[in-house]
Amino acid sequence: MPDKHIFLRPGDRINFKAVSPLYREKYEAEVMGVKDSTLFVSMPLSQGKLVLLSTGTPLEVTCPYGRFSFASEVLKRDFQPSPHLVLQLPYYLSAKKNRARVITVTSGKGGVGKTTFTINFAINLAQKGYRVFVMDADLGTANIDVLLNIQPKYNLNHVINREKELLDIVVEGPGGFHLIPGGSGVLSLADMEEWQFNRVISGLQTLEDYADIILIDTGAGLGKNVINFALAADNIIIITTPEPHSITDAYAVVKVLNQQNKNLVPYLVLNRVESAKEYRAVATKIEQVIYRFLGMKISPLGYVLDDPVVPKANRRLEPFSLSHPSSSAARCLQALTDKFVQPEQPISSSFSELGFFNRLKELFK
C-alpha cells in the first residue's frame, strides 16, 4: 500500500544499511535520478573512500527526513560519469509511465458536500493503491487542512511568493493521500499576476509525474477558475443534493460547461439522498433534462446517503470513511469508488493529448 511519501528527487539524501556482515556501517548517498523502477545514487564514502558495494547486496534504505524506508538491492555499480549505484525501487516509488488522471470536483450551489466527498473519495482511492493528490483549489477560503486537523507549515502562498517549490508544501493526509494545502488568504487564480499563476501551474505540472489521480476541490459556482479547472480536467464530478435549488444550480454549471465543450460527459454524484430509490429517480430526471435541453450526456456515478455520521465525523475533524467505515455513507462511497475505477470510464476532455496543466494554461491565455 503506497501510504508513504513518494518523492525522491535529485539532490535528496538517503541513508542505507547493507543487510550483509561485510558492510556494517550506515551509509549516506545523494539521489541522482529516478528512472522507471530504478534509483541512481552517488556511491557512498566511508572515511573518504568509495564503498564498493557488490551487485546483489540487499539494502534497507531510509528516505528523506526519515519519513519512510524500503527494502532494496544493488542492481549495478558504475563509475561513469561519476561513481554511482543503481538501486531497485519498490513499485510504489517507481517513475510513472502514464500521466495523472485529473478530476475536478465541483457544484452549482455551495455547501452540498464537495470537500467532504473529495477527502473521503481520496482516501478510498488511496486505499486501492492509487497515488492520490488532493489540491485545495477553493482558493481564498481553502479549508481541507482544517477539516483534517493538520496544520501545514507551508501552502500555495509560499509557492507563489517563491519561498517554496510545490513538492515541498505537499503534506500527507490521513489514509494515505497527499494534500496540496491551499492556505487561506491566497489570491484567487484570476487575481494573480501571470508569473504567479505560471508558478503555481508549473509547480503542479511536476505532480503529473508522481500522481495517479489528482482531485481538485473547487469552490461552487460559475467562476472562471472553477470552469477552467473543470474544462481542463480529464473528468468532472458534479455534486448535487436532491434539493431543487441545488439541482438547478448544478444544471447551470453543466450548461456553461456544455457551451465551452460539447463533448464533455461529466459524472453526477448525488449527495445526502434518502434512499437508493430517490437517487435513481433524481439521477434519471437530471439525465433526461440535460439530454433534452442540452443534447448532452451526464454519467451518474453514485450517491451518498444523508447520514448523521458525516457531520459528526466532520466536527471531530475525522474523515467518516476512516472513523465510521461501516456507516451507510462510507458504504455508498465505497460502491461509488469501485464503479469509478472500472477501466471503461469515459474521458471527458476533447483535447486529452495535452496534459492537464498545459490545457489549463491554454484556457487561461
Residues that bind ligand ATP (CB under 6 A): 107, 110-116, 138, 220, 271-272, 304, 306-307, 310-311, 314, 329
Which SS3 state, helix, strand or coil, does residue 71 take?
strand
Strands 171-172 and 178-180: antiparallel
Q: Residue 114 or 272: which CB sits closer to Mg ion?
A: 114
Closest-approach residue to Mg ion (CB): 115
Closer residue to ligand ATP, CB minimum distance, 212 or 307: 307
Question: Which one of the spans 23-31, 50-58, 110-118, 160-168 is the region binding Mg ion (CB under 5 A)?
Answer: 110-118
CB of 217 to ligand ATP, least distance (A): 7
- The least distance separating Mg ion from the CB of residue 142, rounded to whole angstroms, comes to 9
On the 0-12 / 13-18 / 19+ scale of CB atoms within 10 A, 166 is: buried
Q: Which of residues 30-69 bind Mg ion (CB under 5 A)?
A: none
- Number of CB atoms found within 10 A of residue 200's CB: 23
Q: What minimum distance in Å lies between the beta carbon of 126 and Mg ion?
A: 19
Q: Do 229 and 357 touch, CB atoms closer than 8 A?
A: no
Applying CB under 5 A, which part among 28-36, 106-114, 152-160, 328-336 lies near Mg ion? 106-114
> Judged by CB under 5 A, which stretch of 36-44, 88-96, 115-123, 179-187 contacts Mg ion?
115-123
Considering only the stretches 19-27, 114-122, 239-247, 264-272, report the one whose residues sit in contact with Mg ion under the rule CB under 5 A. 114-122
Nearer to ligand ATP by C-beta: 213 or 250?
A: 250
Give the shortest CB-109-to-Mg ion separation in angstroms: 12
310 interacts with, out of Mg ion, ligand ATP, none, CB within 5 to 8 A per kind? ligand ATP
Question: Shortest approach of ligand ATP to residue 127 CB, angstroms?
Answer: 19
Q: How far is the CB of 78 from Mg ion (least distance, A)?
A: 50
* Residue span binding Mg ion (CB under 5 A) among the ranges 24-32, 108-116, 154-162, 230-238: 108-116
- Residue among 128, 111, 51, 98 at smallest CA distance from 249: 111
Shorter beta-carbon distance to ligand ATP: residue 290 or 329: 329
Query: How many residues touch Mg ion (CB under 5 A)?
Result: 2
Cβ proximity to ligand ATP: between 114 and 158 the closer is: 114
User: How many other β-carbons are positioned within 10 Å of the β-carbon of residue 98?
Assistant: 7
3-class DSSP assignment, residue 175: helix
- Separation of alpha carbons 132 and 328, rounded Å: 24
How big is the CA angle at 243 (ends 237 and 119), to the nearest 5 degrees? 35
Secondary structure of residue 163 in the 3-state scheme: coil
Instruction: Work out which of 62, 104, 107, 115 binds Mg ion, going by CB under 5 A.
Output: 115
Of the pair 57, 115, the CB lying nearest Mg ion is at 115
Residue whose CB is less far from ligand ATP, 63 or 270: 270
Give least dist CB 274 to ligand ATP, A.
Answer: 11
Q: Tell me whether residue 107 or residue 348 sits nearer to ligand ATP (CB atom).
A: 107
Instruction: Give the separation between CA 135 and CA 167, rounded to whole angstroms.
Output: 12
For ligand ATP, the closer CB: 24 or 315: 315
118 binds Mg ion (CB under 5 A): no
| Residue spans of alpha helices (H) in 45-183 | 114-127, 144-147, 156-160, 166-169
The rounded distance, in Å, linking the Cα atoms of 245 and 240 is: 9
Dist. CA 34–CA 278, nearest whole Å: 50
Minimum Å distance from CB 329 to ligand ATP? 5
Q: Which residue type occupies 211?
A: A
Which residues contact residue 319 at a Cβ distance below 8 angstroms, ignoring those fewer than 6 apart?
Answer: 119, 120, 123, 148, 174, 175, 313
Query: Exposed, middle or buried: residue 318 (CB in 10 Å: 0-12, 13-18, 19+)?
Result: middle
CB of 364 to Mg ion, least distance (A): 22
Per DSSP, the residues of 231-270 read HHSSEEEEEE-SSHHHHHHHHHHHHHHHHH-TT---EEEE
Where along the sequence are the contacts to Mg ion (CB under 5 A)? 114-115
